[in-house]
Structure 1
Amino acid sequence: MSEAAPASSVTPGTPDTPGSSDTHRTTADPYGTTAPLSAPLVAPPVPHASAALLTSLSPLLHDWLPRQRWFAGKGRPVVGFTLVSATELLPLTGSPGLLHLLVRAQQPTVPAQGAAAPPPADCYQLLLGVRRSLPPTLASALIGRVAQGPLAGHTVYEALSDPRLAGLLLERLRLPGTIGSLRFDKDPTAEVGSGLTPRALGAEQSNSSIVYGNSHILKVFRRVHAGANPDLELPLALAGEGSARVPAPIAWFEGANPEDPFEPFTLGLLQPFLHDAEDGWQLALKSLAVGRDFTAEAHALGRATAEVHLALAASLPTLTLGRPQAELLTAQMAERLEATVQAVPALLPYADGLRQAFDAVRELGAAGPVVTAQRVHGDLHLGQVLRTGDGEWTVIDFEGEPAKPLTERRRPQPVVRDVAGMLRSFDYAARSHQPWDPDWATRCRTAYLDGYTAASGIDPRHQAVLLRAYETDKAVYEVLYEARHRPDWLPVPMAAVRRLARPS
């Protein structure tokens, strides 16, 4: 790259400080969420060459970024990029080079109702490979050829598609330390093999995953937020409690947040790869296809859910929801309902009955403390659980609903939120099979609740008001989603709406 401006002024990829093995211990804050007790990760100044690099890459990113399935700002133009950090993991003078970027994509937006200013632009993690020319095996990873600036004449591509560069990430995770704006850390008791062949998994909506050999899987978060990601925070807490219901984190890496060194970006998480496991959704569909009973699996899944909740309650703070929290909760649910009624007129005849489900929670709160709240999964359904070869259920993907703010996803909530999500998932599975067998869903729902009760001593059916409200809120969300994206599926949540709108 002798004819181009030197890119070596970008933060060089040289480990210089050791990682900390207790980076993610947590404590309570006044709201009852958790905050990391981590050593600060200070962002180094952005070199001038890094800013010039982003300027030269911007024309390519304008075209490429909105086409990625994990890009959250679809439907709105990208008007510019702001560089958060740039780190060379392999010198850009090499072939290949590896450049790590955190960039904010500037898009037109408006403040939320009652907000003084629009939210900050979404921040994305980009891993870019750099070569003089791209071999045919990497043609599908092409981002483009740089026309000007430090990388003029070079080809830029998605690095995770390159086995050599994906393998480099695993090597960095094996050796904790800080490289520029990035900090790599690991469980000191865990072994990470070397020389494992990487392969990318497809069809993910919000992240990218790489499987190494048949033993490890690395999830790379694409749209990142300042603060501890629940997908790292909660499995670490569960591993600390000795829970076998979650693949324990092996290693992870973070990026410095220039605005707050104590709130870094969680960027990636390495966990054991359960190669012999099958997800609950596929198992349920197979059961329906052959007419096989699924209640034993549902009962065991209820037990597994309860065990996860018990371990989270033991390891992280809990709080009691009273009248203010009940009113806030129901106001948010009611707001989502009103917006959906406007968007989907088919919901209008049931709106009064659905409002009653939320009003009942408000009335419950007015009478006194409602229920204990704790950290929960936040997006639990049959696709978020795996049954391993020994028949045990494992829970994965603790990130919560990615579209929601991180502060909301980390907020303690009643456990019936997770329970309601799984109950809705049984309904979806049953409706996906023809002819529809409503009794299958009813049996699975009952077995799941029985299993949860047996393991926890708490019967979610005794929290009927809250359970109905959370099921209703979930069904309303489903109505809006299906109306927008899969109209043929709209009858599935509408059937739940008709049931939930009836007085208990």
Structure 2
Amino acid sequence: MSETAARPVISPQGHDELLTSLDPLLREWLPRQRWFAGKGRPVTELTLDAVTRLRPDNALLHLLLRTHQPPADEGPGDCYQLLIGTTDALPPHLAPAVIGHITRGPLAGRTAYEALHDPRQTSVLLERLRLPGTFGGLRFHREPDGRIPDDLTPRPLAAEQSNSSVVYGDALIAKVFRRVLPGTNPDLELPLALAREGCDRVPAPVAWYESADGETTLGVLQPYLKGAADGFDLALKHLVEQQDFTAEARELGRATAEVHTALARALPTVTFTRAHLEQLAAAMTARLEATAHQVPALLPHLPGLRTAFEALADLAGEGRTWQAQRVHGDLHLGQCLRDPSGFWRLIDFEGEPSRPLAERRMPHPPHRDVAGMLRSFDYAARSHRPWNPAWSDACRAAYCAGYASAAGRDPRTDPVLLRAYETDKAVYEALYEARHRPDWLPVPLAALARLAEPA
């Protein structure tokens, strides 16, 4: 096994040779990718942390590529996971996946392309996931009862966000994390814990892979929920057809509470005392101040928004405490799927990708996830014209009622904590929209105007 595993390893000298071939192409290609986090800043240097040959003759290369950009050139940079195919003759159907024609180095004369668009290449990844063990710079794992059928035809998912996904024969889906950080990714950690707790609200991991040293989660394979409807798309459909969505919102609230209850059983919980809550309020205030400097439209609402976090600090000073646990961390309608039977499931437990991994793995009161869903109902309502605030209000109320029916406590009974989390989420949304989707900025700004008003 050791001899076989050693063959895919490329020496540091080989890293330099590969970069000679790929560097000029990747500098131009990377900033155009939806998942690239360093948009708007030049790439000053590329370095390779690890390279694994998944197929002979460099036909399929797995790269952990580090980018260096100002103003923090002296820092470690961001590490990205790439699967790159190289070929002498690119089939026409892969033209959209082209990275570029290589003109220098050991790969000169070949064409480099994004391998996740090529079924031949993604079949290699699935085959590796069938075989637990180390292969080059990668380590593969499979659950004891994890079944990976033969003859599954792969296809990439068209809608890409901060990661990339490949569906295998409507049976399985592999998520390939793009910007990777040392540590266990919550999108593996939490579904594994929930599966072992017997919670069927979250698809259980079948297999996964990581760096050979075990320090960095790189991808996870889970069941594909064929025929399931995206929660946001479903909400918009109801809006367009002027249909009530409160029954679905109530069931989604119940599903959320069941997941929270299972997480609290499966993983340690803590009590947020005065020190925790004051630190939380201070962090929220700091994010608000920093965002206001980057999104000037926030400035008129700044005094009122500060009161949301001041009220939380005041409660902490009076001795108020809350139980905190692991939560989803980025819960919204698009992270929820309803299967044809009407059963809701939650997916994508990675948390907010722009935040540090250690921060995404911190415990919080469940109100953080509830606030995310309340914001999502508002997004759905404002995506439809004319805006229907009554629809959003009804869904928000139904969701909280459904949550209470399963958790035994209505999150609305903690209005100060819920307002603080909802305000913090809307601040995050304002910064995101200002950077990536300026046309959507009025949505979080309208919520922030409401949240800035006296309670």
Interval containing the TM-score (normalised by the shorter chain)? over 0.9
Change (3 A) 1:131 1:346: closer
Offset of 1:218 from its aligned partner? 0.6
| SS of residue paired to 1:173 | helix
What is residue 105 of structure 2 aligned with on the other side? 149
2:20 to 40, 55, 68: 55
Please give the per-residue CA displacement for 1:221-278, whole angstroms capped at 9, x wherever unaligned. 111111100000000000011111011100111113xxxx45x211111111111101
Offset of 1:361 from its aligned partner? 1.0
Deviates more, 1:45-54 or 1:77-86: 45-54
Letter in 2 for 1:311: A
Letter in 2 for 1:89: L
Q: Does 1:91 align with 2:56?
A: yes
What is residue 107 of structure 1 aligned with on the other side? 69
What is residue 134 of structure 2 aligned with on the other side? 178
What is residue 206 of structure 2 aligned with on the other side? 250
Q: How does 1:234-383 map to 2 (within 5 A)?
A: 234-256=190-212, 261=213, 264-383=215-334
Deviates more, 1:205-214 or 1:360-369: 360-369
CA contact (8 A) 2:15 2:51 kept: yes
Offset of 1:47 from its aligned partner? 4.0
2 CA distance for matches of 1:485 and 1:149?
36
1:66 to 26, 31, 49: 31
2 CA distance for matches of 1:479 and 1:181?
39
1 CA distance for matches of 2:280 and 2:365?
11
Change (3 A) 1:271 1:445: same
Please give the per-residue CA displacement for 1:44-93, whole angstroms capped at 9, x wherever unaligned. 78442233222322111111111111111111111111111111111116
1:456 to 392, 396, 407: 407
Please give the per-residue CA displacement for 1:389-445, whole angstroms capped at 9, x wherever unaligned. 110000000000001000000011111000000001111111122222211111111
Q: Does 1:200 align with 2:156?
A: yes
The size of the alignment, in residue pairs, is 454
Offset of 1:349 from its aligned partner? 2.9
Change (3 A) 1:343 1:141: closer
2 CA distance for matches of 1:490 and 1:183?
42
Please give the per-residue CA displacement for 1:348-372, whole angstroms capped at 9, x wherever unaligned. 3322111111001111222225211
| SS of residue paired to 1:81 | strand
Q: Does 1:410 align with 2:366?
A: no
| SS of residue paired to 2:52 | strand
Q: Does 1:159 align with 2:124?
A: no
1 CA distance for matches of 2:439 and 2:37?
24
Offset of 1:345 from its aligned partner? 3.5
1 CA distance for matches of 2:293 and 2:60?
48
Consecutive unaligned residues of structure 2, counting only runs of 5 or more, are: none
Please give the per-residue CA displacement for 1:282-337, whole angstroms capped at 9, x wherever unaligned. 11111111111111000000000000001111111111112222122111211121
2 CA distance for matches of 1:360 and 1:80?
46
1 CA distance for matches of 2:107 and 2:127?
26
CA contact (8 A) 1:89 1:99 kept: yes
Change (3 A) 1:349 1:278: same
| SS of residue paired to 1:138 | helix
Across the aligned residues of Structure 1 and Structure 2, the Cα RMSD in angstroms comes to: 2.0
Letter in 2 for 1:106: H
Letter in 1 for 2:143: D
CA contact (8 A) 1:236 1:249 kept: yes
What is residue 82 of structure 1 aligned with on the other side? 47
2 CA distance for matches of 1:348 and 1:61?
39
**TM-score of the aligned structures, taking structure 2 as reference length:** 0.95
Q: How does 1:5-84 map to 2 (within 5 A)?
A: 14-15=4-5, 46-84=11-49
| SS of residue paired to 2:315 | helix
| SS of residue paired to 1:188 | coil
| SS of residue paired to 2:187 | helix
What is residue 352 of structure 2 aligned with on the other side? 401
Consecutive unaligned residues of structure 1, counting only runs of 5 or more, are: 1-10, 17-42, 112-117
What is residue 469 of structure 1 aligned with on the other side? 420
CA contact (8 A) 1:13 1:90 kept: no
Please give the per-residue CA displacement for 1:18-43, whole angstroms capped at 9, x wherever unaligned. xxxxxxxxxxxxxxxxxxxxxxxxx9
2 CA distance for matches of 1:12 and 1:75?
43
Choose between structure 1 and 2: higher helix proportion.
2
| SS of residue paired to 1:92 | helix
Change (3 A) 1:327 1:434: same
2 CA distance for matches of 1:13 and 1:201?
36
- Percent identical across equivalent pairs? 63
1 CA distance for matches of 2:298 and 2:49?
43
Letter in 2 for 1:234: L
2 CA distance for matches of 1:428 and 1:252?
33
1:125 to 81, 97, 121: 81
CA contact (8 A) 1:13 1:88 kept: no
2 CA distance for matches of 1:179 and 1:13?
10
Letter in 2 for 1:87: T
